[in-house]
Structure 1
Amino acid sequence: MAGPSTRLRVIRLYKELHRLGRDYPDENYDFHGKLRRMFEKNRNLTDPEEIDKALKLGEYIKNETLALYSLRKYRHLKRNYPSDKSSS
């Protein structure tokens, strides 16, 4: 059975992913719906290894989403500040 610290880790991960989903660039993707379904699907896990595996997948998704946002910000800055190679 999962302990209280595991429960807190799961809740914290869900909240972080939910906050990240607010800025998800594709409105048609239904980030929050997929997030909720994924957590509900794993709701009844009791094996600590399976819980840890699901938490690692969630952390991976969080890191990939953060990388997507960083790339989006970088591309926006690059468009607004074009390189000035023509004047050299």
Structure 2
Amino acid sequence: MSQPHRRAVLNLYKTLLYMGRDWPQGYDFFRKRLHKVFTKNSGETNPEKIRIMIKHGEFVAKEIEVLYMLKKYRTMKRRYYDGS
């Protein structure tokens, strides 16, 4: 794996680990699944496939971020605008 790809993969892994702290099933569950996915694809040498997997990982990170924002929004809405 070339140096730019390696750096991008490590940054993606760190970002996802950080985001997994608030995962509903727990951080350990998230960390084990994330580690399994990254080790499964660790032998990939095709730069194009690596780039595609990095793009997919960035998409997943954005989706997780949106889910967290939605959860916070719903909590705030329930807290202040409860139907009473």
TM over 0.5: yes
Partner of 1:44: 43
Deviation at 1:79, TM superposition (A): 0.6
| Residue aligning to 2:61 | 62
Runs of at least 4 residues off by over 3 Å:
none
Higher helix share: 2
Identical aligned residues as a percent = 40
Distance 1:23 1:3, change over 3 A: same
Note the 1:13-28 alignment, pairs <5 A: 13-27=12-26
| Letter matched to residue 60 of structure 1 | F
Gapped regions of structure 1 (runs ≥ 5): none
Partner AA of 2:72 in structure 1: K
> Any gaps of 5 or more consecutive residues in structure 2?
none
In 1: Cα distance, 2:15 partner to 2:27 partner = 21
Structure having the higher Rg? 1
